[in-house]
Amino acid sequence: MTDSDPRNMNTSHKNRPQTVLMQDIQKNVDGRMGAGSPSTRTFSDLDVLNFLQAFTSEIDSAISVSSPNPFLNMTVFLIRSHAEGRVVTSSTMIAASEVPYATGRRKLEEMIASGQIELRPRTKSGKTFSLHPSADLLDHWNRLVGRIVRLAGQHLGAGRGEDYYFGGSYLAAHPIKPPQVLVEPLALSGGLRILVHGDPTFMVMENLKRQFEQVIGVKINQRAFSIDRLHEEVLRNADRKFSRYDIIAVDLPWIGEFAENNILLPLDDVLDTERLDPSDFHTAGWSAAHWGGRPYGVPSQTTPELLFYRKDWFAEAGLEPPSTTQEVLAAARVLHDPQRGRYGVTWNAARGTALGHEFMMACAACGQPVINLEPIAGGFNADVATRRDLEPTIDTPAALEAAEYLKALLEFSPPDILSMSWYERVRPYAEGKVAMAYGYTLLAPYFELDENSPAHGQTGYLPHPAGKSGAQIAPVGGYVLGIPANLSKVRRAAAAEALIAFTSPEAQKLYVQSGSRTSPRYSVGADPEVRRLSTIFEAVDAMSWRDELQYWPRPPIPQISDIIKICGQEMHDMLRGINSPQVALQKAQQRSEQILKPGS
């Protein structure tokens, strides 16, 4: 039997999906896998793989009369290779068996015949193929891992009062399994091309590229830009005859603009949306991916902007977590101590897009959107694709309250606050210099994954505190993955399959286990292994069930990007003292009216 001659092997795998084993690829995540209290350790899959290899090696060397176990050796090798994204062939499998070639070949054929190993063609001719663990093998393996660790706890740890557990397999019967490998590689000449935002979650996807190349069977080429440059590149790409990208990341407020200008394909043109399991997505995230009742993207990140706060500082000062804007200012006043290098709060105050977003979210906390949206239960109706009567509502009493709140925050902010945007506002919080920070959940890795951060393990998560006439709200941000409208038709079906794979619960859980702190799906947030990694998932799920997750604060109308920038410019002049809040709102209102109704 050779790698290019599968005829002697039983290939009746019945097209069952294959599975890639999760592994932690970030060093700081690996470092935490055994961390925690002395009485509780969590073991990763690779911990158990290492243990089995070391244990069998010790047995072989300790007992003079022994023989290798080819089934175990090949299974461990196959699973480890998938975890590391390495291609496995029949030759390398036989070599890993540690038995004579003829015996190893026979044992390998038995594993294939029993359905433990799947074969996937490596070329169009089907003469060469790669080997992958079947779904059944991975299912049995995961159960074995749980039993091994439980037995170790019972027989080796129980006497010392230690509680060992793996993942959550003994706490939850059906945790989300690792991502499935496609039986057939995607037909994408030159590989899959993706355009994304340069944030921590998409960088996790980049780090997992080898694993997902195994999943889809082709190379992945990913480009990342800042938010404004990403918007520009998507527009440039739309002017090309054929798209340079198979999949693009789209900020939620851009959906209307890209749908109206035929930049994105409606997803129901290229796939059955029921395959995405829409009911599993957070309602706000899934709704925000629609325009005119049609989906234009699949939520990849549902990342609400929250208020992070230092639980230990609040406890020392005898303060309760703030639920109103006035309580934020009161807490900031108590905890602000510049002489000790401590500041009350950080937020998006940099000119333009960053501050424009913050202003709109402050308006929402004060009970009003920046467009005349229709009030509905729980907020406002942001599905305005058919409306032609939209007007800005910026120069209003609620918006004035929001502007004055931002101006009041200046007193308790770091001196360079007016240049702080997305990442800059969270870094000083992670460094232990700030008591509170407005930030998206996707930025939580800055302190959640850094055990040296003073905020590590000391952070609480709150929805935006409410203004006088508003309610607590968690404005939804994040990105969907969509397919460009000018993508060549021969690539669309494969791009849709990749889209499904990248946004599946299995993939989303892998992102979280590898460092992401965003999850667009209820099932991922409820997974016991995910919940043990961070309290942020339970907090966000609770906000979703309380209907606090909303996307109307940044309504996805085609003109929203320009209006965001206008608000960010005028509010920045206000914060610098150039204009009063009233003048800033009047100018933002007038400029936004010209954008919405240029002929008026």
- Which tens digit of pLDDT belongs to each residue from 363-390? 999 999 999 999 998 899 998 988 989 9
Do 423 and 354 touch, CB atoms closer than 8 A? no
Do 552 and 546 touch, CB atoms closer than 8 A? no
Return the pLDDT at 23. 33
Say whether pLDDT at 8 is over 60.
no
Return the pLDDT at 174. 62
CB count within 10 Å of CB 582 equals 13
Mean pLDDT check: name the lowest of 321-325, 327-331, 447-451: 447-451
What percentage of the chain carries pLDDT values higher than 90? 58
Q: Which residues contact 347 (CB under 8 A, 6 or more apart)?
A: 358, 406, 409, 413, 417, 420, 425, 437, 438
**What architecture is the 6-166 domain classified under in CATH?**
Orthogonal Bundle (1.10)
From the list 203, 12, 190, 177, the residue with the least C-alpha distance to 82 is 177
Return the pLDDT at 599. 59
pLDDT band at 46 (very low <50, low <70, confident <90, very high): low
Mean pLDDT of 535-540: 91
Return the pLDDT at 261. 96
pLDDT in tens, 156-193: 554 444 443 333 333 344 678 888 788 788 999 999 99
pLDDT band at 28 (very low <50, low <70, confident <90, very high): very low
Mean pLDDT check: name the lowest of 15-29, 41-55, 527-541: 15-29
Higher pLDDT, residue 163 or 266 = 266
Return the pLDDT at 193. 97
Domains 185-301+478-545 and 303-474+559-596 agree in fold:
yes
**Long-range CB contact pairs, 165-169, < 8 A, 24+:** 165/40, 165/41, 165/42, 165/43, 166/42, 166/43, 166/48, 167/42, 167/43, 167/45, 167/528, 167/529, 168/527, 168/528, 168/529, 168/532, 169/142, 169/143, 169/145
CA separation for the pair 559, 236 (Å, rounded): 18
Return the pLDDT at 545. 84
pLDDT band at 195 (very low <50, low <70, confident <90, very high): very high
Domain ranges for the chain, please list them. 6-166, 185-301+478-545, 303-474+559-596
Phi/psi at 347 (nearest 5 deg)?
A: -165, 175
The token pair at 257 is 């603009």
What percentage of the chain carries pLDDT values higher than 70? 83
Higher pLDDT, residue 195 or 598 = 195
b/e per residue, 394-414, with b = 16+ CB within 10 A? bbbebbbbbbbbbbebbebbb
Q: Which amino acid is present at 286?
A: W
**What architecture is the 303-474+559-596 domain classified under in CATH?**
3-Layer(aba) Sandwich (3.40)
Query: Which region, left, alpha or beta, applies to residue 174 given φ > 0 means left and ψ of -120 to 50 means alpha?
Result: beta
**What architecture is the 185-301+478-545 domain classified under in CATH?**
3-Layer(aba) Sandwich (3.40)
From the list 426, 514, 428, the residue with the least C-alpha distance to 28 is 514
Say whether pLDDT at 29 is over 80.
no
pLDDT in tens, 449-508: 999 999 999 999 999 999 998 999 999 999 999 999 999 999 999 999 999 999 999 999
Do 296 and 290 touch, CB atoms closer than 8 A? yes
CA separation for the pair 292, 281 (Å, rounded): 19
Q: Average per-residue pLDDT in the chain?
A: 85
Say whether pLDDT at 563 is over 80.
yes
Return the pLDDT at 61. 64
Mean pLDDT of 196-208: 89
Say whether pLDDT at 33 is over 50.
no
Higher pLDDT, residue 140 or 552 = 552
Say whether pLDDT at 85 is over 70.
no
Return the pLDDT at 439. 96
Say whether pLDDT at 224 is over 70.
yes
pLDDT band at 134 (very low <50, low <70, confident <90, very high): confident
Mean pLDDT check: name the lowest of 53-57, 61-65, 85-89, 429-433: 61-65
From the list 210, 209, 219, 222, the residue with the least C-alpha distance to 186 is 219
pLDDT band at 66 (very low <50, low <70, confident <90, very high): low
